[in-house]
Structure 1
Amino acid sequence: MPDVRVLVVDDQETFRRAIAAVVSETDGFVVVDSAGSGEESLAAVARLRPDLVLMDVNLPGIDGIEATRRMTLDPDAPVVVLLSTYDEDDIDISGCGAASYVAKAAFGPDRLAATWAAATTWPPTQPRQAEC
């Protein structure tokens, strides 16, 4: 089975590098690129067609929730996992198309693998898109 192709999106270079390091340490996952804004993430998804997007919530311009909503309109959209420094209880991702939310402090190889496994067991006919 080929590696899961991951796009890392965060406006802070330090976090992009940290997230990319976690992805690289996780068997079966490979970083294909990174982006620093919602606009860049949309262009990168169209160009690279990653399997998974790790998307920061707070981004300049189009924020992570709106970028997620836009990219998940495509029937061949990647799985999007939202990341932020907020506690999980403080974020409402219902309806924006994201598979899940993970606090940056809790993000690690085990959480990445478990999140991917949970997201890819969805029935393919179940829509992930709704109102944000």
Structure 2
Amino acid sequence: MSVRVLIVDDQAPFRDAARAVVEATDGFDVIGESSTGEASVDATQQLKPDLVLMDVNLPGINGLDATRRILRDSNGVVVVLLLSTYDEEDYASKAAECGASAYIAKSRFDPDRLTAAWASATGMEPTTWVPAPGELST
């Protein structure tokens, strides 16, 4: 079963680029996109992704606050990776503070980084991902 991915970014060109990375990565499928923090919280509740790729700077609530809400509402079942243009060294602690599993600079986001971040967060390769009972959306 593929890892279900929600992409959150206010810039359509980056959503397109992120979609291309996800689609080029074995074991991952894009199930939706959002352009605001509020919309990402709603989309997570409706679509039930396994993974959210979250921009930091968003209109309305920012990606850090949206991550906190998503993790609270999902009881921590969803994995969130923060993505932005900031240096990874500067933002790794902010990712940890809001509960995100990792921070990846947009310029370094590629299939290898996606796979490695997922494996680090879950302990599983995407091709062996099996949701726990009750996690499958209907």
Q: Give the TM-score of the pair, scaled to structure 1.
A: 0.88
Structure 2 gap ranges (5+) = 125-138
Greater share of residues in helix: 2
Structure 1 runs of 4+ with >3 Å offset: none
Alpha-carbon offset, residue 90 of structure 1: 1.7
> What residue ranges of structure 1 are gaps of 5+ in the alignment?
123-132
- The SS at the match of 1:95 is helix
How many Å apart are 1:94 and its aligned residue?
2.4
Conserved? CA contact 1:52–1:78, under 8 Å? yes
What amino acid does structure 1 have at the position aligned with 2:21? V
Q: Report the CA distance between 1:76 and its aligned residue.
A: 5.0
* 1:83 matched to 2:102: no
Q: Distance in 2 between matches of 1:108 and 1:69?
A: 25
User: Hey, what's the Cα distance between the residues in 2 that align with 1:76 and 1:64?
Assistant: 16
Segment of structure 1 superposing worse, 105-114 or 68-77: 68-77
Shift of 1:97: 1.0
Note the aligned Cα RMSD (angstroms).
Answer: 1.2
> How far has the Cα of 1:67 moved from its partner?
0.2
Q: Which residue identity does 1:82 align to in structure 2?
A: L
> Would you say how many aligned residue pairs link Structure 1 and Structure 2?
121
Distance in structure 1 (CA, Å) of the matches to 2:77 and 2:69: 10
Q: Distance in 2 between matches of 1:72 and 1:25?
A: 27
The CA deviation at 1:75 is: 1.5
Deviation at 1:93, TM superposition (A): 1.9
Q: Residue 71 of structure 1 contacts residue 77 of structure 1 at CA under 8 Å; is this kept in 2? A: no
AA aligned to 1:121 is: G
Q: Which residue of the partner structure matches residue 112 of structure 1?
A: 114
In the superposition, the TM-score normalised over structure 2's length comes to: 0.85
